[in-house]
Structure formats: structure tokens, C-alpha cells
Structure 1
Amino acid sequence: MVRERSSHWNQKCRCLLLGLTVILILGAVVVFAAVILAGRRDPPAELPQWKGRGSTANLEEIILGRCFIYTRIVNPELRKDCLKIWETFKNAFVSKNPCNITEQDYQPLMELAAHPIQCNKTLLWSKTNELAHKYTKVQGNLLTLEDTLLGYMADGLTWCGSPSSSETNYQSCPHWRECANNPVSIYWKMASKTFAEAVCGVVHVMLNGSINHAFGNSSIFGSVEVHHLNPKKVHLMKIWVMHNIGEQPSDSCSGSSIKELKSIIEGKNITFSCEDDHRAVQLIQCVGQPEEPACRVCRTEF
């Protein structure tokens, strides 16, 4: 009887050991198979290669920093949540095709970051970027789009995302020639629209008369800002057509492009005026070329 019990116990032990061995072997096989399959997975999809430069390095830090500077120093009376602004800005383009960005993508940001603009204090510009901002910096009383929060945060920056990633694409972004509906172009169109809708009173405009068409329908000024001025808020547009010092003008207030602009503006029941080489702006140009005839000050000889 004792021998039968001992034999039975040994048989149970052998069965138990055999079962444990089988489990360990199966576990090892599963682990091995998992490792092999993991090694065979396709690598992460590479981001598309565009012809434009990638997003500006440290984009988040720059946007946040500029937002805090603007709301704490430039315009301390403005109460904005910069962290929320960054998240809203990022959500407009990450995880999306950078050639298929829409105005709706940026609408929440426009509403979040927009702020009131003082009447009679705005300067719109086209093809006069450097001169316009030199003038407003010295003059100190006119505001361009780049002097608003939306313009200040994004000026000079590049950004885009990719449908295959939830992060910003720092490798490359679409050049504007590759697709019109890229994140940067749509942003500036929306910011320009928001700015134009906010201006009131007298609006000043600086155009470049040293190119063939001082006013162009395809520019942001011609295609966006002009058409979103509110005639119930804006009563006068003052055009300044500026020319490079010492060069022959290519366009002027009497040119066909300015006449086209005048027709559009007066069609909106807004009064229109135009001046070639507004003297205050020309003096800014003369700082670098004081000996040019246009920069000489007439003196009375006694």
C-alpha cells in the first residue's frame, strides 16, 4: 500500500514538472516570436520632404516668449492666456496636411488673440515691409499688423506639421510655390483679415512705386485687407506711393493700378486720397542717402 502511494505521488510530481516545462517553453516561444515580429515591423514613416525650410527651431519657446513680452511689456493692459494661445496655435496645424490648411483651422486662434485697435492709428503696407516698419518705429503713432499680438508673435517664423505626426515638423515645410494653403500663408491671410476688420477712422497705406504695379490684386493687401475694410468704421484711406531715392518711378498716384484701387475703395463708400513720396516717410529713406537731390533741404541765402 505504501509503495502504491509513493508511486502515485511520483507520477503526480512528474506530471507537474512536465506541465511547468511545457508552460516555460511556450512562454519562451511567445517571447521569441514577439521579438522577431517587432524586428519585422515597418519603420516609422518619414516626414514628407518639402522645398521650404522646416519649422523655426524652438518654435514653442519663441511664440510663448513673444506672447509674454507683448502682454507684459508692449501692451500690459492686454489680458491674454499665452499658454492657451500656444496650444490653440499648435492645434491649427499639427497632425494635418500642410498643403490643406483652412481658415477654419485658425479661426479659434484669431478670436482668442485679437484685440481692439485705436482709430486713425493703422498703417497697411504692400511691398514696403522694411520702410513701413522703419517709419512706424520712428513715428511711434501708427500701428502695422506686425505691431498687433497676432503679427508680433509670428513675424519671420516658419511652421508646419504632418498627418503622420502629432509634433511640429522641423525638417521641411511647403514653400509657398508648392501649395497656397500652407500653414504660414493661411495664418497671415487670417491675421490680415482680422486686422482689416478691426481698423477704424483713417487708414494709412504705404505702397511701392518702384515696381510696375504699386497695387496688386494678388497681394495680401489687394486680395484680403482691401476687401475686409468696414465702410461703417473706416471713412478715409490715405495712400502713400513711395519710390526708391535716386531711381526713376515705375508707378505713381496717377498710374493705372492706383486708379484701380481708387475705384475699389470709392465703391465701398470710403474716401480716397493719394500722395507720391510722403515727405515724412521720404526723410527716413534719406537717412541712408542724404546727398541725393530729393533729400536736400532748400535754404534761403541772406
Structure 2
Amino acid sequence: MPWHWASKDMWLWSVLALVLMVLASGVVNAHATGEQKDRAKKYKGGGTTSNLRNIIIGRCYHYMSLYPDIGDKNCSGIWQELVDAVQRKDPCKIIQEDYKRLALVAAQTIPCHKTLLWSRTNDLVHRYTKATSAFITLEDTFLGFLFNGLTWCGKPLRPGMNFKFCPAWNECDHNSISSFWRMASAAFARASCGIVNVMLNGSADGDIARKESFFRTVEIPNMDPTRVSEVKVWVIDDIQGDDKNSCNSKSLMELKQFIEGYKLKYSCIDNYRPIQALQCTGNPDHAACNQCH
């Protein structure tokens, strides 16, 4: 081979090797920069729940054993849909649309007249649904049961979950947890039919249903007035609390107008007796528990 051809080949190989080295260096530096940025961002909330995958898949199989009518769900597929919804994304830029596929694979039919919504009555409403099968809260649905009480978020530049830091509930408007529960609440409201019951706290300070509550911002706007025949509000006072709101109070009159503005029929009942009976199991000597009806 002539020497000038050999020299030319060596020069080309040298240039190619240099280009590959530059590219490799760029990839390494980009990865390192990504890791630094991931580590640098510290949110106010705790990180992803430990063993999240095992918890979700375990709950999935447990729910199917309790409610076989839901059909055969792909538990591993549901976990993967959650991962795909949040990984490689800014945890403060997760929107409801990111959970669209997760909502589809976890969808279920809600029987008419069974929906029970709530605001500021978390403990009481779930004590009630555990004591009776007459109603279903969001947390009793398949989707709510899977993710209730759990925390998760991804990392903007790398796959997988962030087990160190996640945004707190109010830290940013579109964080991975609040956007999930908005999506789930909207899906629950859209699936509801017949009479929809709502348990509200009559002893709470301020408006009985705060304007920023999911009940007002998500659930009522997503109800179909052609399928929901009535929204029935239960105003429940704490058994040893003050009666700050009742069906004829200003806050409830404003709520009535709000609900009827969505072409939904409204009704209200003070201290729904079955709920008061449940409250009396822990306060049998209270005056409200010694009435003859």
C-alpha cells in the first residue's frame, strides 16, 4: 500500500476516535449533570413510599380477592402505568392527563346510589363505610384502594422513583400526588349515577365546603346531570362539637346554589341518624345519644 494512503487511513481513524471520545465524554457529563440536578432538588415532602411496587401489586391481588366481580386486573401492568406516568418528569409538572392510561386499566363500574363523597370528615366517613356496605367512597374503589396513603414521584432526568424527596401536597400545583387524586376524584364523579351522597362536617370552621375543596373544584363539575338524579348533603356535627353549620345556614345556601348551577338537584339533611348512631358507639352517654326516635 502506498505510504500516502496509509497515512490518510491513519488520519481518518484518528479523527473518528477523537469524535467518539468527545461524544462519550458528553454522554458521561450529561449523565453526571443529571444526577447532580436530581440530587440538588430537595422537596418538602418525604420520598416515594418504601417497597411501593410490592405494596401496590399486593393490594391489587387483595382487592380482587375481596371483590371478584371487578374481573381480572393486570397488577404488574398497573404498576408499570404508574411508573410510566411519572418517571423522567419534573414532579411539580405532573398533570391529570399523565395518569390517563392508569385510570383506564384500573377503571371499574360504580353501582348507582352507592357514591359517598366527603370533605373534612375523613375518619368518620371511612368508619361508616367499613360498618356498612351501603356506600362507596373513592378510597373504597379499586383505584383509591391501591394508592391510598402512599407517596411517589419520579426523577426529572433519570428512570425510576425518587425515594428521598417528593413535593408536599401544597408545594406546587401540579405535583404527582395531588394530580393523581384530582384525576381519581374526577373519574369517580363521572362514574357516579343515581343519588350521590356527601358527608360534610357541620362543626368545622369557615365554609362547610371550601371553595378549593375537591368536592367543589373537581367532583361536582364532573358529574353528569343526566345520570346523577340528586346530590344529597349530610351535615354531620362532631358528637361533642359545636353546631356551626346546618342545612339552613348561609354556607349551605351558597353550596346549594353552587350545586344547582351545574343542573344537579340538591337536598340536605342534618345529622343523618345512622351516622349519629355510629358516633354514639364511642360516646354512649352523650345527650344526643339518649333520644327516642
- Measure the CA separation in 2 of the matches of 1:195 and 1:262: 21
1:254 corresponds to:
248
Note if contact 1:246-1:294 (Cα within 8 Å) is conserved in structure 2.
no
Number of equivalent positions: 265
Structure 1 spans left out of the alignment, 5+ residues: 1-32
TM-score, structure 2 as length reference = 0.85
* Aligned partner letter, 1:74: Y
Give runs of aligned pairs for residues 106-255 of structure 1, distance below 5 A: 106-211=99-204, 212-255=206-249
User: Secondary structure of the equivalent of 1:206?
Assistant: strand
* Aligned partner letter, 1:292: H
Note if contact 1:70-1:76 (Cα within 8 Å) is conserved in structure 2.
no
**Alignment RMSD (CA, Å):** 2.2
Q: How far off is 1:76 after superposition?
A: 4.4
* Aligned partner letter, 1:254: N
Note if contact 2:197-2:233 (Cα within 8 Å) is conserved in structure 1.
yes
Note if contact 1:161-1:169 (Cα within 8 Å) is conserved in structure 2.
yes
User: Secondary structure of the equivalent of 2:59?
Assistant: helix
TM-score, structure 1 as length reference = 0.82
Structure 2 spans left out of the alignment, 5+ residues: 1-20
**1:245-293 deviation digits (Å, cap 9, x = unpaired):** 1222222211222212211222333221111111100111111111110
**1:100 matched to 2:96:** no
User: Secondary structure of the equivalent of 2:197?
Assistant: strand
- Percent identity reads 42
Q: How far off is 1:60 after superposition?
A: 0.5
Note if contact 1:117-1:198 (Cα within 8 Å) is conserved in structure 2.
yes
**1:59-113 deviation digits (Å, cap 9, x = unpaired):** 0011111111112333444222111111011111111100000121011111111
Larger radius of gyration: 1
Q: Find 2:261's aligned residue among 256, 267, 289.
A: 267
> Would you identify which runs of 4 or more consecutive aligned residues in structure 1 move more than 6 Å?
none
User: Secondary structure of the equivalent of 1:166?
Assistant: strand
- Measure the CA separation in 1 of the matches of 2:70 and 2:101: 22
